[in-house]
Chain A
Amino acid sequence: MGLFILRRVGVMILTALCLTFVVFFMTNLYPNLEKLAKTQGNFRMSDEAVASWLEKGGYLQSTPKKYMEWIGVAPSYQHVAEDGTVTGRCITPGMDPAEAPRFCGILQGYWGYSTVFKDEVSSIVATRLSLTGTLMFWVMVVMVPSALILGVLAGMKEGSATDRTLSTFAITTTATPEYVSGVLFIAIFSSSAVGLKWFKGTATSAMESPNIENFLLPVLTIALYGMGYIARMTRASMTEVMTAQYIRTARLKGVSFPNIVMKHALRNALIAPFTVIMLQFPWLLNGVVIVETLFNYKGFGWTLVQAAGNNDIELLLGVSVVSVLVVLITQLISDIGYVYLNPRIRIS
């Protein structure tokens, strides 16, 4: 088991390095850098001015070198101007170049500076992530229990009325992407055209004080899309368990139906959905971006859109590091959890 976890962690780190390198490479392509130089310096810069601006920032080194500097395993670039002043990534204005640290990258906690929000990337990511964390928490609270209940109820008696109705419902929710269900919810529950106005169509005020009125619609929108999928997986797993020999034995023994479901079937039926729930995280991330844009909730997904739309390279890199790590760690948990929960799998 220890070796298995070690191997998975190793693969995970390798994947993370590859992915962040891809993002780094794509954000550091020359047209992006040129745009950065022009937005930071001056829009009418000549090509030479752009080149010298980039040279000064160390952007013209080879991509692997820049990547290593950004990670923090290579000494960071220092530029010596003609008059002898030294500038560099690690040297904050007013600092003596001799005292500045040699390495400053992600590993040292230096995430860079956002050109859009005019703030440290690490603090932006932290605040935005906590906002999205609240959203995700409530999504999980709504989504997981209801999906499991739906799936178990549907899978209890395959082909029954409950099964057919709930399965149709689950298929409909998986066919409704967030930007459709969100628009439908806003149209029905918050527009003055329909006139119900039960909830608010934006979640901006939910950033300070989340309550049902401003937070229910975004949570429901994300939860609904993932719910159908988890419910269908739970149903498939439940129907499989319900046809197993030991369930038949229990029925023949005279155990009551609720007892069979609760005591014999449920635990075995919930192993598969656990991994599915964990693997839902990358999809939820997708949904978070859409819903935060739709409801104007300024969390992590909204930051991603802002960073990507405004060519904010360091913020975009920071955001992608976090999202890649979230995805990979949930995958790792799902792998380990599956082995842990399922005694039939033995890893030698």
Chain B
Amino acid sequence: MDPLSWTGSIAFLNPLLFAALGLLAISILIWILIGAVTPEDRSITNVGGTLSLSAGPQGLAALAVRVTFLASAVILLAYIVLGLFMGTGAGIIGALAQRMLPVWIALILLFTLSISFKRRLGLYGKLFDSPIGMIGFGLVMFWVFTGIFGAFDMIITHDPLAQASGMKNKAPGTPLRGAEEGDFAWYLLGGDNLARDVFSRMVKGAWEVVKIAPLATIFAFMVGITLGLPAGYYGGKLDTFLSFLANLILAFPVILLFYLLVTPEIVATGLPQYMAVVLFAFPMVFFGVLLNARYRTQPQKNLMILAVVLVPLFLMYMCLINAAGSKIDVWPLDFFDVPGGILVVFVSVVFVNSPTVFRIVRGLTMDIKTRDYVAAAQTRGERPWYIMLWEVLPNARGPLIVDFCLRIGYTTILLGTLGFFGLGLPPESPDWGSTINEGRKLLSVYLHPALPPAIALLSLVLGLNLLADGLREESLRD
């Protein structure tokens, strides 16, 4: 087997791509310069009384940017499409494109479906009107699908924990020595310092993020909303107390907190588990109060709905916090155990994120409670919790959804930080932070182990930020 080059037989695209990217950079520069020097395009009043913009140099420059951007995108697409058909014939890029086939199919399906039904999909559909939002959403979903398919062992080429002899620190595209029938014959992105496949580890790392970050953010939002609504609505002593607690956590340097929470000695005392008992109870409280406030006047229906929702939640809760052989071992019906490391990481991330959510919800509530519809509900004689959860919360959803996207990104960064310091997750875990930490030690000689996870993390968080930006723009347009 020969080692693979980056582009193989589609190398003829490289000069085209460089030319397109160069032109794009130049056109952006010209666009900025012209925008700074020339006046804005003037509007002209036509004979019929209609207005039109004069075609000025600014419009031309913007057109140039758009054309060169499209050209670069088309060439990048060509790499992927050609790679899909030629596989390893098109070098590493081709092989990667082919391995990612399920992701491409899922992305194309998702985008065609969403765009064709976008008028019926509310805020989510409007996202597809903003190019920035679409790019962000595409990046995010790319990693989400990669994570999900990676979890089913679909994309990866090798076992992310297996070490192959003679593959230590080998460059991308090195053929696997002594590959047997059925093995993938190359390490596409090279091997790390323990001779494991960098590409497979990166794909598995995506699953680590996809599995923890959104769920942790949802929990943080449950905690923040359940405490922030009453703090903003009632104000007074409750508000002072809760805000003090939130500021307390916010003033804590995050890394110090992680070191204090995640060390094995502290885990042995069961402290993170006790925190989990408190933090994980909030979803139950939230849904209990939410439904009770709504159906309070119909006791039979109320009881039924509450039972349907709360009993599974309670079972989940007990299974989550209960682990055989740890400090909390009281519940007989334990269906699953969360691995200790993951639980600790999860708890600390939720703990760090919830005070910020609390502050946002509190601020929004204080703003919204002065509106007329809240006064109307109060006059109707609605209970406070009904007003908070069914009048205030739905009207605060715009900023909260935007913050949710940003916060998933921040959680991803926090998870990376934990991995970077080797806290919580097991040492051989393929998560991006740990991989970056391992790769950085040999960075001056071998770039390939550290760069793929770094770029993956960067693009996921960038995608989330762009998505949040697109959502903000579209929700402001309402």
A125 to chain B, nearest CB (A): 14
Pick the contact of B409: A175, A193, A201, A282 (CB < 8 A). Answer: A175
B420:A290 contact, CB within 8 angstroms = yes
A305 to B444, CA, bound (A): 23
A56 to chain B, nearest CB (A): 21
Chain A positions 176-193 with a Cβ under 8 Å from a chain B Cβ? 176-177, 179-180, 182-184, 186-187, 190-193
A304:B265 contact, CB within 8 angstroms = no
Nearest CB in chain B to that of A289: its residue: B255
A240 to B421, CA, bound (A): 41
Given A190-B444, A282-B253, A311-B265: A171 in contact with B32 (beta carbons within 8 A): no
B433:A179 contact, CB within 8 angstroms = yes
A18:B433 contact, CB within 8 angstroms = no
Contact with B along A11-42 (1 / 0, CB 8 A): 10011001100110011011110010000000
- Residues of chain B with a CB closer than 8 A to A294's CB: 440
- Residues of chain B with a CB closer than 8 A to A162's CB: 32, 35-36
Binding stretch for chain B, among A64-72, A83-91, A248-256, A321-329? A321-329
Which residue among B32, B253, B458 has the maximum number of chain A CB atoms within 10 Å of its CB? B253
A287 to chain B, nearest CB (A): 10
A19 to B162, CA, bound (A): 44
A209 to B445, CA, bound (A): 26
Overall SS of chain B's interface = helix
Pick the contact of A186: B256, B444, B462 (CB < 8 A). Answer: B444
A301 to B28, CA, bound (A): 40
Which residue among A29, A157, A177, A324 has the maximum number of chain B CB atoms within 10 Å of its CB? A177
Given A26-B260, A175-B465: A15 in contact with B244 (beta carbons within 8 A): yes
Size category of the binding interface on chain A: 35 or more
Interface presence of A160 (CB below 8 A): yes
B251:A19 contact, CB within 8 angstroms = yes
B443:A18 contact, CB within 8 angstroms = no
B251:A179 contact, CB within 8 angstroms = no
A192:B444 contact, CB within 8 angstroms = yes
Interface presence of A172 (CB below 8 A): yes
A172 to B420, CA, bound (A): 21
A160 to B32, CA, bound (A): 8
- Residues of chain B with a CB closer than 8 A to A191's CB: 443-445, 447
B418 to chain A, nearest CB (A): 11
Interface presence of A174 (CB below 8 A): yes
Nearest CB in chain B to that of A202: its residue: B444
Nearest CB in chain A to that of B451: its residue: A187
A162 to B35, CA, bound (A): 7
Contact with A along B5-39 (1 / 0, CB 8 A): 00000000000000000000000100110111000
Pick the contact of A175: B31, B248, B458 (CB < 8 A). Answer: B458
Interface presence of A165 (CB below 8 A): yes
A179:B256 contact, CB within 8 angstroms = no
**Count of chain A to chain B residue pairs whose CB atoms are closer than 8 Å in the complex:** 156
Chain B positions 120-137 with a Cβ under 8 Å from a chain A Cβ? none
Interface presence of A285 (CB below 8 A): yes
B35:A201 contact, CB within 8 angstroms = no
A176 to B469, CA, bound (A): 16
Interface presence of B263 (CB below 8 A): yes
Pick the contact of A327: B251, B255, B416, B421 (CB < 8 A). Answer: B251
Which residue among A35, A184, A187 has the maximum number of chain B CB atoms within 10 Å of its CB? A187
A290 to B417, CA, bound (A): 8
Given A161-B61, A175-B461, A192-B445: A183 in contact with B454 (beta carbons within 8 A): yes
- Residues of chain B with a CB closer than 8 A to A187's CB: 443, 447, 450-451
B411 to chain A, nearest CB (A): 12
Contact with A along B241-270 (1 / 0, CB 8 A): 000100110111111100111010110110
- Residues of chain B with a CB closer than 8 A to A22's CB: 252
A319 to chain B, nearest CB (A): 8
Contact with A along B22-64 (1 / 0, CB 8 A): 0000001001101110000000000000000000001001100
Given A172-B462, A175-B462, A194-B447: A160 in contact with B35 (beta carbons within 8 A): yes
A15:B265 contact, CB within 8 angstroms = no
Chain A positions 252-281 with a Cβ under 8 Å from a chain B Cβ? none
Interface presence of B343 (CB below 8 A): no
Which residue among A22, A175, A309 has the maximum number of chain B CB atoms within 10 Å of its CB? A175
Given A29-B269, A328-B251: A320 in contact with B256 (beta carbons within 8 A): yes
Interface presence of B344 (CB below 8 A): no
Chain A positions 141-161 with a Cβ under 8 Å from a chain B Cβ? 157, 160-161
Pick the contact of B256: A23, A31, A184 (CB < 8 A). Answer: A23
Which residue among A172, A180, A308, A311 has the maximum number of chain B CB atoms within 10 Å of its CB? A180
- Residues of chain A with a CB closer than 8 A to B61's CB: 161
Interface presence of A286 (CB below 8 A): yes
Which residue among B244, B259, B457 has the maximum number of chain A CB atoms within 10 Å of its CB? B259
Known: A171-B466, A282-B251, A293-B420. 5 other contacts (CB 8 A): A15-B247, A157-B35, A186-B440, A192-B444, A290-B420
A sample of 26 cross-chain residue pairs with beta-carbon separation below 8 angstroms, ordered by A number, consists of A15-B247, A15-B251, A19-B252, A29-B266, A31-B268, A165-B32, A171-B462, A171-B465, A171-B466, A175-B465, A176-B461, A179-B416, A179-B440, A183-B454, A192-B445, A282-B251, A282-B253, A282-B254, A285-B255, A286-B255, A289-B253, A304-B255, A308-B256, A308-B259, A308-B260, A324-B252
Q: Which residue numbers of A lie inside 8 Å of B, CB to CB?
A: 11, 14-15, 18-19, 22-23, 26-27, 29-32, 35, 157, 160-162, 165, 171-172, 174-177, 179-180, 182-184, 186-187, 190-194, 201, 282, 285-286, 289-290, 293-294, 301, 304-305, 308-309, 311, 319-320, 323-324, 327-328, 331
